[in-house]
Amino acid sequence: VKLPFLLPRELRALGVLGMNRRNAEFILPGNPRSHYPRVDDKLRTKQFCQQHGIPVPQTYAVIERPGDLRHFSKLVADYPEFVIKPCQGAEGRGIIVVTAHDSRRFTTAGGATLELADLRYHLESMLAGLYSLGGQPDRILVEQRLIRHPIFEPIAVGGTPDIRVLLYRNVPVMAMVRLPTHASRGRANLHQGGVAAGIDLHSGKTLGGVCRGRVVTVHPDTHAPVAGVVVPHWPELLVAAAKLARVLELAYLGVDFVLDADRGPVVLEANARPGLAIQLANRAGLLSRLQNVAGPDELIEGAPPGG
Amino acid sequence: MNARRSAWWVAGALVVTGLACVAVRLHAQQRAKLARGDTLWRVTYKVEFNANRAGAGLRVTVPRETPHTRIVRRDVQYAGLAAQRVRASRELSREIALVAPTGGRHTMTARFDLHFTPQGRAAFSESAAKLTAEMRAQYLRGADTIPTNAPLVLETLAGLQPADPTNLVHRIFDFCDRNLRSDDEDFPDDVPTVLRQRKASSLGCARAFVTLCRAAGVPARLVTGFTIEPAEDAELQYWAEAHHGGRWVPFDPVNGSEGVVPADLVPVTRDQSEIVRGTDIAALKTSLEVVRRPPGPGALRFGRSQIGVIFDLTRLPLDMHEMLAVILLLPLGGLVTALFRTVIGLRTFGTFTPTLLALSFVYADWKTGLLTFAVVLALGLTTRAVLDQLKLLVVPRLSALLTLVVLCIMLLVSVLDYFNLTPSTQAVILPMVILTMTIERFYLTSEEDSPGIALQQLAATVLVGACCYGVLRWQTVGQLVFTFPELHFFTIAGLVLLGRYSGYRLTELWRFRDLGNR
């Protein structure tokens, strides 16, 4: 009989890391609370990156007060396209990508047109903390829109894919690329139906993917195979991720990159509570890889040998 | 892992501490019992009645506490009846009000465990008897059973020289005590007949005293109660209280005691002669069983002031018991929430939203509560979508939503009352801030993730809430924790262990199901 779910011992044999264990054994001991603001505020992460020569999207403006919004058209007048994001937003919430505008009407990546008043309302909500963790008042980052690297053309629809590298003690242990779909409305949000594909750490080549929790081999919209794409600048990307992990001083960290057509890997943000879906995307458990980083003297219970 | 081992140690220490506290207090109780002449009694009301129609009401009056008796436990069972919250007149009587949802035969049982102390409690004080003008008028008013204007009453009073106000109450008392024979319960109750025949049942005798007092301008009232002595169906005792010298003074013309009543007399209700009454009911049968109980937990000493009694919540006034018992169950609600989160892996809107919703449902019937929840949620979501068009800032928008929720609930209270659909408006008073935040979170989740995920979280919220509701309604455990709050050391121990649980969540077995197909 084939059960529609796995038994705990099967998950253990696969070396799958569960949410409770991630929290109790990796995040709580490894990520000191006082270092969280370094990643929860995108502006601070950006400053860390800039200090250490890690490429980030160019900042056009930072909006701190509702009063600043009066001059919004002037702020962005010089930039034909840009991205607006709340500094403390999570899971890509509240982000608006403007692809064209005439200072009165703004066209977003999704194809919708926003009046200036609508956009200002959105920005005011953002400042008031609609998207921030815990509803605290927030700041807004207006920054360069990154250009999707052509290599992802067949497997990304309506948006830019982002690459997540998971690090433990500054060592990359797993990576995946999140591909936007029609269903996810151009966002690389897995809840909304984006596709996540694992990436082989050595070669930077994509593996099969996962969509809405189920294994997929082809992109649901373009039907192009998601596996076998070699991510350009892969070693460079891993080095940048490791460097950032070291300066942020967070032991269990996810770093998100976008591969820009011109600039190569650019850091978007970092996450001190990276999710577990990366295991599904890679079709592999994390425990043995974490064990390899921890070393034999510090046995991680239940990690299968090798990895 | 070091932290894990210390968690086990802490949990173990907590369990041991909890057990030790319970043991120490049980021991102290047992010893305290044996050392004194205190006794424990159980009074059981057994009530049977026929409801003439759906909505027929029953009111059962609860024994009152005196310097000698204290209620340590109460347990009311009324399967098939709905409880109604009434604003009890603290001064006269405390009532349990029940409503029969259907016509026909119904029963209810109410048990009260009384702690009887012959010496009395120094700390006991009856609320100061300040007599307002309104109360004064009430206790001077005539009634069918208290015919203050009956010729025979006025005539009798005239014979007692009412012109001289000093000692008038005593003269009335002496008159009733000496001239009314009250050694047979078949003697009449009716005051004019009593005065004519000069013989009275105990009720008649007490009524005659009250009537004469009121006719003479002295506020007085009837008291109905029972005696603490073993009885299968205890006879009700009647005496009176007259407001004299700035306080209510008991007078028992039947047994001839003035100023004090025997220690073992327990008052139940004032100004009325029945302890169980009803509207639209027939064939009411009430029995009052009094039995002596062996000493056990909950029977704590009182009287001597002792710092140890701080830990004894059962000494608090009875009307606080029910509420405190529910509050003391809240940590178990937290435990349930933690179990669902870490062991099962369900995500809810807000960590304690289910617990708080469940808490409000405890005071209501859950069907009406759930209906209200659904109606307010649906209306709130519609409004939230409309508010979105207005482009309001976060805080004003949330406050507007809160206002709507408040109005909505108030309107529902009124609507339900108008159609007489619910026995209690309490049923729809849900925590409004929690509702507002639930609406907001539902809306945002369905916009940002998907309506499916929002519905999933809503279902999880309702499910966890239902489990919390079950826990909060668990009266046996509630009583136990109320008697021994230190049992919550176990709860903390459980939470400490749960906090170190690093196994898979149940939902993860499903989430990672495809990993097995390699």
Give the C-alpha separation, B415 to B424, whole Å: 12
φ, ψ for residue A217 (rounded to 5)? -110, -25
Q: Is the separation of the CB atoms in B428 and B409 below 8 Å?
A: yes
Between chains, do A20 and B514 touch, taking CB under 8 Å as contact? Answer: no
In this prediction, residues B324-350 reach a mean pLDDT of: 89
Query: Which chain A residue's Cα is nearest to B500?
Result: A24
Give the C-alpha separation, B192 to A139, whole Å: 86
Give the C-alpha separation, A110 to A121, whole Å: 18
Between chains, do B512 and A192 touch, taking CB under 8 Å as contact? Answer: no
Can you tell me whether residue A218 is helix, strand or coil? strand
CA of A190, closest CA in chain B: separation in Å?
9
Q: Is the separation of the CB atoms in B294 and B110 below 8 Å?
A: no
Between chains, do B394 and A125 touch, taking CB under 8 Å as contact? Answer: yes
Q: CA nearest A23: which of B442, B455, B456, B338?
A: B338
Q: Is the dihedral of CA B348, B351, B353, B354 positive or negative?
A: positive
- pLDDT value at position A306? 47
Chain B interface includes A1 (CB < 8 A) = no
Report in angstroms the alpha-carbon separations of A60 from A84, A109, B294: 10, 18, 81
Q: Is the pLDDT of residue B515 over 90?
A: no
Can you tell me whether residue A197 is helix, strand or coil? strand
A114: burial class by Cβ within 10 Å (0-12, 13-18, 19+)? middle
Q: Is the separation of the CB atoms in B262 and B277 below 8 Å?
A: no
Query: Which chain B residue's Cα is nearest to A214?
Result: B514
Interface test with A, best of B496, B509, B510, B518 (most A CBs within 10 A): B509
Give the C-alpha separation, B347 to B350, whole Å: 9
Q: Which of A156-160, A213-217, B259-263, B319-323 has the lowest mean pLDDT?
A: B319-323
Contacts of A194 (CB under 8 A, 6+ apart): A178, A179, A180, A181, A183, A184, A187, A188, A211
Own/partner pairs for B422-425, CB < 8 Å, 24+ apart?
B422/B365, B422/B368, B423/B82, B423/B83, B423/B84, B423/B99, B423/B365, B424/B82, B424/B83, B424/B84, B424/B85, B424/B364, B424/B365
Tell me the pLDDT tens digit for each residue of B477-494. Answer: 887 888 888 999 999 999
Give me the torsion for CA of A41, A44, A45, A48, rounded to 10°. Answer: -170
- pLDDT value at position A200? 95
SS3 per residue for B246-270: CEEEEEECCCCEECCCCCCEEEEEE
Return residues 167-206 of A near B (CB < 8 Å): 189, 191-193
- pLDDT value at position B424? 55
Q: Is the separation of the CB atoms in B353 and B442 below 8 Å?
A: no
CA of B380, closest CA in chain A: separation in Å?
18
- pLDDT value at position B303? 45
CA of A46, closest CA in chain B: separation in Å?
25
Q: Which two tokens stand for residue B309?
A: 């009694």
Burial B110-138 (b: 16+ CB within 10 A, else e): bebbbbbbeeebeeeeeeeeeeeeebeee
DSSP state of A230: B
Q: Which of B6-20, B204-218, B355-369 has the lowest mean pLDDT?
A: B355-369
pLDDT tens for each residue of chain A, 307 residues long: 677 888 888 898 899 999 999 998 899 989 999 999 899 889 999 999 999 999 999 999 999 988 888 888 888 889 999 999 999 887 777 888 898 998 889 998 778 898 998 888 889 888 888 787 667 888 999 999 988 899 998 888 878 899 999 999 999 999 999 998 888 777 777 777 889 999 999 999 999 888 887 888 889 889 999 999 999 999 999 999 999 999 999 999 999 999 999 999 999 999 999 989 899 999 899 999 998 888 766 766 666 554 4
Query: Which chain A residue's Cα is nearest to B453?
Result: A191
> What is the identity of the amino acid at A6?
L
Between chains, do B517 and A215 touch, taking CB under 8 Å as contact? Answer: yes
pLDDT level of residue B304 (50, 70, 90 thresholds)? very low
Query: Which chain A residue's Cα is nearest to B342?
Result: A20
Give the C-alpha separation, B348 to B356, whole Å: 13
DSSP state of B486: G
Q: CA nearest B285: which of B45, B43, B49?
A: B49
In this prediction, residues B203-223 reach a mean pLDDT of: 88
What are the chain A neighbours of B517 within 8 Å (beta carbons)? 215
Q: Is the separation of the CB atoms in A291 and A300 below 8 Å?
A: yes
Give me the torsion for CA of B191, B195, B199, B205, rounded to 10°. Answer: 50
Q: Which of B94-103, B134-143, B249-258, B343-352 has the lowest mean pLDDT?
A: B94-103
Can you tell me whether residue B30 is helix, strand or coil? helix
Can you tell me whether residue B51 is helix, strand or coil? strand
Q: Is the pLDDT of residue B423 over 70?
A: no
Q: Which residues pair with A162 in a beta bridge?
A: A178
Q: Which two tokens stand for residue A239?
A: 């080095």
Chain B interface includes A124 (CB < 8 A) = yes
In this prediction, residues B304-320 reach a mean pLDDT of: 66
Chain B interface includes A88 (CB < 8 A) = no
Q: CA nearest B364: which of B109, B84, B99?
A: B84
In this prediction, residues B240-247 reach a mean pLDDT of: 83
Q: Which two tokens stand for residue B407?
A: 């109005």
Q: Which H or E element spans position B153?
A: helix B151-158
Query: Which chain A residue's Cα is nearest to B509?
Result: A6
The yes/no answer to whether this complex scores an ipTM above 0.90 is no
What are the chain A neighbours of B441 within 8 Å (beta carbons)? none
Query: Number of residue pairs across A and B with CB atoms under 8 Å?
Result: 92
Q: Is the separation of the CB atoms in A126 and A79 below 8 Å?
A: no
What are the chain B neighbours of A189 within 8 Å (beta carbons)? 449
Between chains, do B512 and A280 touch, taking CB under 8 Å as contact? Answer: yes
Give the C-alpha separation, B210 to A102, whole Å: 92
Chain B interface includes A135 (CB < 8 A) = yes
Q: Is the separation of the CB atoms in B83 and B40 below 8 Å?
A: no
Q: Is the separation of the CB atoms in B238 and B267 below 8 Å?
A: no
- pLDDT value at position B298? 46
Residue whose structure tokens are 């009056």: B61
pLDDT level of residue B121 (50, 70, 90 thresholds)? low
Stronger pLDDT, B364 or A43, i.e. the higher one? A43
Q: Which two tokens stand for residue B222?
A: 């009837």
What one-character-per-residue DSSP string does B57-83 give? EEEEEEPPP-SSEEEEEEEEE-TT-EE
pTM (2 d.p.)? 0.71
Q: Is the separation of the CB atoms in B281 and B51 below 8 Å?
A: yes
CA of A54, closest CA in chain B: separation in Å?
31
Query: Which chain A residue's Cα is nearest to B502?
Result: A21
Between chains, do A6 and B453 touch, taking CB under 8 Å as contact? Answer: no
Give the C-alpha separation, B314 to B301, whole Å: 11
Degrees, nearest 5: CA angle B444-B449-B454: 65
Q: Is the separation of the CB atoms in B429 and B409 below 8 Å?
A: yes
CA of B498, closest CA in chain A: separation in Å?
10
Give the C-alpha separation, B291 to B111, whole Å: 11
Q: Is the separation of the CB atoms in A229 and A30 below 8 Å?
A: no
**Which candidate from A8, A20, A91 shows the least CB-CB separation from B342?**
A20
Q: Which residues pair with A167 in a beta bridge?
A: A172, A253
What are the chain B neighbours of A214 within 8 Å (beta carbons)? 514
